[in-house]
Structure 1
Amino acid sequence: MCVGWIVWEKSQSKSTCCAVCWLLKSLTAVALLSMMLSIQKTQAQGWFSLQAIKEYLDIASPAKIVQPPIDTKAISGESVLFFCRAEGNPTPRILFRWNDQELVHSRPGLQLKMISPDSLSLRAKLEMEHNGDTVTCFAQNQVGSDGVSARITVYSANETPPRGFPKVHQDPSATISQVGSSAQLQCDVSADPRPTVSWIKDQFYPVDLSASRFRLV
């Protein structure tokens, strides 16, 4: 995409006009408009400075999904959580698509929750009709876009799940603790191969176990 605009230079005899054109393959029209609005006119030469363009290109980065939804297997009737986080500058807009249909609002069986400006959670109650469906996280800003899909496998509650399928033997129980003191929550899970256990707060918020306030024992 080649975009040009007019640069005016003042002289004693007349004003001359020259068109300047840059090849900016990585920028969309919206990004170019954003840049042009930020261009400042210098007092010394009376022409539009291109420094703003250089600064924009130096700091702008396309949307990139850094925590994508993952392939999920579940028993019919169970609820699962899909989480997606993206990075980029400007901060990208994130959305979920279910079988290529954009999820704008929560609906029965599908609940959306904005975790932060760059992350989104989707809680879904899976039924047999969802077997083979796909969930896609799509992120986009003015510089670029990214998308990652996850496949859903649903097993009937009346059939035996595959060997080694994860099973929760003990759920965390309600705990009362004073502010500033420690509390311990326990979860017992078995699977083969060994499962990765994630902790979720209030049904939607993944717990960052790297934070100093948490410790796995």
Structure 2
Amino acid sequence: MQLNFKEIFTVFMVLFAVIDIVGNIPIVIDLRKKVGHIQSEKASLIAGVIMILFLFLGKSILNLIGIDVSSFAVAGAFILFFIALEMILGITLYKQEENNAMTASVFPLAFPLIAGPGSLTTLLSLRAEYALENIIMAIVMNVLVIYIVLKTSSKIERFLGSNGINIIRKVFGVVLLAIAVKLFAHNIKILFI
């Protein structure tokens, strides 16, 4: 096992941008108002388990249905591209209906808000390019950040304000857009070789 801190940081930043936990603070606060209490530990842990399981089983599932990782990575690049557009332009291309049942810590918070289609697709796309142990480290680091943000969401919102959160979303949107282009270019070459 050889940890590469540059890879860990890159994967961490990609996942952080895709999960967009800071940008989702308003949704977290809204959920907290609707259901009263959100179990930050439970939501973070379940999201982490879903992401790690998908990292290991996702490729097998793809093989089962006859799709190679490069094709999935190209599809993932498109999803990242559209998520980035949402973040930069402030538009909503895909809206998940919110469920305000007492299971809000699991659904919709852990899945699909944190470990959703974007982050799961991203994980398999990243697996085509980065070492497994580095991706796992990045997931663990993101789960810790998610936990801290969930625990302190109301304080962060007061500190940053809605303008601060919007600026952060747009900056990470541009970063995500660049990563989507790189992922697409790298994997499209593999498909045509």
> What TM-score results when the alignment is normalised by the length of structure 2?
0.27
Greater Rg over alpha carbons, structure: 1
> What TM-score results when the alignment is normalised by the length of structure 1?
0.25
Kindly indicate whether structure 1 or structure 2 has the higher relative contact order, using CA contacts under 8 Å at least 6 residues apart.
Answer: 2
Higher percent of residues as strand: 1
Higher percent of residues as helix: 2
